[in-house]
Amino acid sequence: MRALFLREIRLGLRAGGGALIAVLFFLSVVAMTPFAIGPDMKLLARIGPAILWIGALLASLLGLERLFQAEREDGSLDELRLSGDVAQLAFAVFIKCLAHWTVTGLPLVLCVPLFGLFLNMEPLAIGASMLTLAVGTPAIAFIGAVGAAAGVTLARGGLLVAVIVLPVVVPTLIFGIAATTGAIDPVTPFLAPFLFLAAITLFFAVIGPLASAFFLKALDE
Amino acid sequence: MAISGPFNAHIEAERLHGSRGGFPLFADVSFSLKPGAALRVTGPNGSGKSTLLRMLAGLIRPDAGKVTITGHAPDAAPGETIHYLGHLNAMKPQLTVAENLDFWLRFSGGAAAEGGWEDALRRVGLSRVRDLAFADLSAGQKRRVAIARLLATPRAIWLVDEPTAGLDAASTVLFETLIAEQLAQGGIVIGATHVPLGRDEGWQTLAIDPATVREPVAREALAP
């Protein structure tokens, strides 16, 4: 499984892997926002965490539909499906999601200190956004894997994956923003929403790969 | 041919019925293969050769009938007994030949061949290109790398779908030699092909004739 992780990282970093694309998309969302909001620095700082979260969320969806489609196109998916039972396949999917997040999600988190400056955010808000994004965005990969597995045979599955995934990531977004706000604002609580955020990620880390493995095993082709 | 080797797997197909997209392809396909047996599946384009092979691998469920593989650990995954080589080579174009083979060797369960993938690559005559990206190889070279994957992890049953497509004459002969070695070790080879795959007389032939299937067969009617 370490071999699978390393392969996914290599594929992500080589040409056409999509690691840079997510960061560039994230940058475009963050860079466009101040122009749309206008010269209200206070407002910008207040909605900064929300912009970061929405940007990171949408950027994380990019490339998710290729998670299994690329494997199917070159025949590797057959080997993955044959390599073990549902539990082993689920573990392989878990590793793939983890590698996908390391290549596309982690760079987004690491960009937050720079992009936060664009949005006139305080250091504390930047730190809180980084922490909540680091804990929350892996859930998007795990949920996305289910959509990617369900739409693996569709030539243009990208939008479908986004449509399947978005409603399910709403709780992640809600608790992510709630925890970030809680960290900045002394009145609202931080720990409770943060723990919920972590719980959602852990929940989907189990359910997502299992559901995808069932979809992939049930493929009849 | 004398059989001496590590493999001791049997594969049996019982009254397999197959279809593609609801269109019936073949019906009542049965055979049983012992260690060292080779089966050639022939038939015109679209007759269901690939479907049958994928069914034997476990990638497609049969409409009726069943495939039984014995002689390996009961909890072994199909991937630990079967090598499936389809039309696609199962290699990542962005990675080098060495990275591709090394990945499959580490990822797949079961013991690696003596000499690892380096030796397998040498046997298909491609040691020179080990550090080239897979995308930069010619079609024939890609096929040979895919064949090297079969050699890198020894497995009892080979299911090969048009394995010599794109291979030149010398490589085709080489592949026939590799198949003969696999059979001599007690392995089983099932090949869907339009060309002869071996010089030996030991091959059985299963001809899929679309003319034998006329009416769509209902799943219920076939259930035992």
- For the segment A30-63, what is each residue's pLDDT rounded down to a tens digit? 999 989 988 888 999 889 999 999 999 999 988 8
B129 in the same domain as B223: no
End residue of a domain, out of B153, B175, B201? B153
Picking from A76, A80, A86, A103 by the largest number of B CB atoms within 10 A of its own CB, the best residue to mutate is A76
Chain B residues near residue A14 by CB distance under 8 angstroms: 94-95
Residues B140 and B51 in one domain: no
* B119 and chain A in contact, CB less than 8 A: no
Shared domain for B43 and B96, answered yes or no, is no
**Considering its fold, how many domains does chain A have in total?**
1
Cα–Cα distance for residue pair A129/A176, rounded to 1 Å: 8
- Cβ pair B77:A83 closer than 8 A: yes
Q: What is the pLDDT of residue B76?
A: 67
Closest-CA residue of B relative to A74 is: B90
Which of B132, B153, B174 lies at the terminal end of a domain, its last residue?
B153
Lowest mean pLDDT among A1-5, A85-89, A122-126, B106-110: B106-110
Specify whether B18 is located in the same domain as B70. yes
State the pTM of this model: 0.90
Nearest Cα to Cα of residue B192 among B150, B144, B160: B160
Contact of A154 with chain B, judged by CB distance below 8 Å, is answered with no
B70/B160 same-domain check: yes
| Both structure tokens of B72 | 């390996």
**B46 domain-assigned:** yes
Question: CA of A7, closest CA in chain B: separation in Å?
Answer: 7
* Domain-embedded: residue B2: no
CA A83 to chain centre: 27
Residues B132 and B167 in one domain: no
Q: Is residue B206 in a domain? A: yes
Provide the pLDDT confidence category of residue A128 given band limits of 50, 70 and 90. Answer: very high
Chain A residue numbers with beta carbons less than 8 Å from the beta carbon of B78 are 82
Taking the C-alpha atoms of residue B75 and residue A146, their distance in angstroms, rounded to an integer, is: 27
The pLDDT score that the predictor gives to residue A180 is: 95
Cβ–Cβ below 8 Å for B60 and A221: yes
Judgement on whether residues B71 and B93 belong to the same structural domain of the protein? no
Residues A76 and A157: beta-carbon distance below 8 Å: no
Residue B183: CATH number of its domain: 3.40.50.300
CB contact under 8 A, A3 and B79: no
Average pLDDT, chain A: 91
Residues B92 and B147 in one domain: yes
> Rounded to whole angstroms, what are the CA distances from B97 to A4, A80, A148, B25, B126?
16, 19, 27, 37, 9
In which domain, by residue range, is A75 found?
2-217
**Cα(A157)–Cα(A45) distance, integer angstroms:** 36
Residue of A nearest to B105 (CA): A3
Angle (CA) A76 B44 B81, round 5°: 35
Summarize pLDDT for A189-200 with one digit per residue, the tens. Answer: 999 999 999 999
- For tokens 């690939």, the residue is B50
Q: What's the structural domain count of chain B?
A: 2
Contact B57 A74 (CB under 8 A): no
Residue of A nearest to B103 (CA): A3
Tell me, yes or no, whether B197 lies in a domain.
Answer: yes
Domain that holds residue B148: 87-153
The answer to whether residue B1 is domain-embedded is: no
Does A79 sit within 8 Å of B84, measured CB to CB?
yes
Considering B153, B183, B201, which residue would you say is the last residue of a domain?
A: B153
Q: Do residue B137 and residue B159 come from a single domain?
A: no
User: A221 and B54: CB-CB below 8 Å?
Assistant: yes
Using CB atoms, pick whichever of B91, B103, B107 lies closest to residue A74.
B91
Interface contact B92-A88, CB threshold 8 A: no
The answer on B122 and B165 residing in a single domain is: no
Optimal mutation site among B72, B81, B88, interface A, most CBs of chain A within 10 A: B88
Place of tokens 């384009």: B45
pLDDT of residue B218: 46
Question: Taking Cα atoms as reference points, which of B182, B198, B175 lies closest to residue B3?
Answer: B182
Verify whether the Cβ–Cβ distance B106 to A17 is below 8 Å: no
In angstroms, rounded to a whole number, what is the distance separating the alpha carbons of residues A195 and A136?
A: 10
**Residue B204 one-letter amino acid:** Q
Q: Which of B108, B194, B93 is nearest to B151 (CA)?
A: B108
| Residue A3 falls in which region: left (phi positive, over 0), alpha (psi -120 to 50) or beta | alpha
Q: Confirm or reject contact between B94 and chain A (CB < 8 A).
A: yes
B219 inside domain: yes
Q: pLDDT tens track of chain B, all 224 residues? A: 445 567 888 899 999 998 888 888 888 899 999 998 999 998 888 888 999 999 999 999 999 999 998 876 666 666 778 999 999 999 999 999 999 999 999 888 667 788 889 999 999 999 999 999 999 999 999 999 999 999 998 889 999 999 988 899 999 999 999 999 999 988 999 999 877 776 666 788 888 877 666 554 444 444 44
